[in-house]
Amino acid sequence: MAKWNDYQLMTTVAGKIGGPRVLILAIAAGGALVYKGGEVGVKAVVRTTRSIKQALHVHAQAAAMSRIYRVSEDADAGGGLTLRTGDEFRVLARDDTAILIEVVGSTKNPWYVSRDLLAAISDFTIDGDRP
Within 1-87, strands assigned E span: 68-70, 75-78, 81-83
* Distance in angstroms (rounded) separating the CA atoms of residues 131 and 121: 20
Determine the Cα–Cα distance for residues 86 and 52; give it in Å rounded to an integer: 35
Question: What pLDDT is stored for residue 54 in this prediction?
Answer: 86
Radius of gyration for the alpha carbons in the chain, expressed in angstroms and rounded: 31
Residue 114 burial (C-beta neighbours within 10 Å; 0-12, 13-18, 19+): middle
Task: Give me the pLDDT at residue 91, please.
Answer: 87
Q: Over its length of 131 residues, how does the chain's per-residue pLDDT go in tens digits?
A: 678 888 888 888 888 888 889 889 999 999 999 999 999 999 999 999 999 988 888 777 776 667 889 999 998 888 888 889 998 998 888 887 888 888 888 888 888 998 888 889 988 887 765 54
Phi-psi region of 110 (alpha: psi -120 to 50; beta: other; left: phi over 0): beta
Quick one: pLDDT at residue 63? 65
Look up residue 23 and give its DSSP letter. H
Span between the terminal Cα atoms of the chain, in Å: 71
pLDDT for 1:
60
